[in-house]
Structure 1
Amino acid sequence: MRSRSLRLSLLALVGLFACTATAAPQTVPDTLDQRLLACATCHARVDARGNPVNDSFYPRLGGKPAGYLYHQLLNFRDGRRQYPLMTYLVDHLPDDYLREIAKHFAALPPTVLPAQPPGLPAAALERGRQLVHEGDAARRIPACIACHGARLTGVQPNIPGLLGLPRDYVNAQFGGWRNKVRRAHAPDCMADITARMSLDEVAAVSGWLAAQPMPQDARPAESIARPLPLACGSDPEAR
């Protein structure tokens, strides 16, 4: 009886292997959508399997200006921005492919995210609002809206929006400029602005921005009054 059961088990295994060997291999479409699914692990509300992605740090990419996305991919590849994971992903990609990736995400609809609780005293939030809308002329700190648009949703083709970004992400970018691990082509206007701001002011700006609701139409503006308050190497069209 025992040997008969063993033979039946072996036959079952042989049949299983035979079915596996003859089954058609699963084909994966070679499309840009498929290739960029990995980006959803960090930059989407849900990943490729439909699982929620943490909104506390990574920015969403859909609808951002294509020029901005392209230049950031170049910055990661060429060492002006330092984040090892991103550098690893784009290190060997040519310019044309990076431009194609940027256009792909720019063509997607923007993700409208809920505002975050401010977590700051009223005085700090007011200081953040002042810097965003009025700047500080005495210290040559321009208002954020002077470059990022009156609605703070960015400007085509190279200026990103500021609403809907996680507060921790905004703080980290200010820290990157301050510590020179995030740079742009000279003149690096954001590095200059950051150097003129205190840490309390950085926290005030990031806290105020994160607490603002996004408009339902969060697409970037098509244009903005020029020249910009400061020359910016990150906006080549302005040079």
Structure 2
Amino acid sequence: MRSRCLRLPAAALLGLAALGVQAAPQAVPDTLAQRLLACTSCHARVDARGNPVNDSYFPRIAGKPAGYLYNQLLNFREGRRQYPLMTYLVDHLPDDYLREIAGHFASQHPPAPRPAPVDATARLLARGRQLVFDGDAARKLPACVACHGQRLTGVEPAIPGLLGLPRDYVNAQFGAWRNGVRRAHAPDCMAQVTSRLSLEDVAAVSGWLAAQPAPADARPAAAIARPLPLACGSAPERP
């Protein structure tokens, strides 16, 4: 019987297919890229036509410094950041595998999305630009560029870029730091910054950042002037 089946003509095989007899499923390659495809269902990516997507909430992770991505995976696993789905995904993953995941996404550099329209007054946007480039010395607020780089694309190995992030996401992260839901390695410099920002300042910074186009090459800078204006446990000074 087996030999006869192997010799079925093409017309017979087509007939079997029409009756719902399906061929064996194609094997899925067991690669890191294949395993991590699920991540792109939430995090901003390119669509089927290759156009960049700017999600209304979830951040793009492609191209972020590997050290930053690794730190965030650790933070989710160890409870310093609170998002049940992320905690569930990384809860039992070892450090080495988290480093692989971070390196995989850090090596990707898709085109940046176009900025989404921002509903904000000119005065609010001007305040946001001031805080980003100059800070506010009277309130001991350093400029964002002093840590995140003059182009705001982040700094290797562990400081993230700020351009291309959805406004709602930026607002949510400031809220999480303010409420203690998001934390980082001590000293937590972003918690200090957030404590000195008014709610209007948060809206100004998030609005201005969301309105800015990312540069064509949004790779993080290789280095930045040290020491940083605030001690940061996630980006410690080199000895």
Verify same fold: TM over 0.5.
Answer: yes
* Equivalent residue, structure 1, for 2:43: 43
Q: Which moved more, 1:53-62 or 1:81-90?
A: 53-62
Contact 2:46 2:110 in 1 (8 A): no
Whole-Å Cα distance in 1 between the matches of residues 146 and 52 of structure 2?
35
Deviation at 1:116, TM superposition (A): 2.2
Whole-Å Cα distance in 2 between the matches of residues 110 and 28 of structure 1?
24
Alignment of 1:1-239 (within 5 A): 16=19, 19-20=21-22, 23-46=23-46, 55-238=55-238
1:76-121: per-residue Cα shift (whole Å, max 9, x none)?
0100000011111111000000000000000011441111222111
1:198-221: per-residue Cα shift (whole Å, max 9, x none)?
000000000000001110010000
Identity within the alignment, %: 75
- Amino acid across the alignment from 1:183: R
Whole-Å Cα distance in 2 between the matches of residues 114 and 51 of structure 1?
10
Contact 2:52 2:110 in 1 (8 A): no
1:116-171: per-residue Cα shift (whole Å, max 9, x none)?
22211111111111100000111111000000000000000000000000000000
Give the TM-score, by structure 2 length: 0.87
1:147/1:38 Cα in 2 relative to 1: closer, same or farther (>3 Å)?
A: same
Contact 2:65 2:154 in 1 (8 A): yes
1:50-69: per-residue Cα shift (whole Å, max 9, x none)?
99966111111111100000
**Number of residues of Structure 1 aligned to a counterpart in Structure 2:** 224
In proportion to residue count, which structure has more helix? 1
Unpaired runs of at least 5, structure 1: 1-11
Unpaired runs of at least 5, structure 2: 1-14
* Equivalent residue, structure 2, for 1:9: none
Query: Aligned Cα RMSD in Å?
Result: 2.2
SS of aligned partner of 1:33: helix
1:179-214: per-residue Cα shift (whole Å, max 9, x none)?
101000110000011001100000000000000111
Q: Please list every run of at least 4 consecutive aligned residues from structure 1 whose deviation after the TM superposition is greater than 3 angstroms.
A: 46-54, 236-239
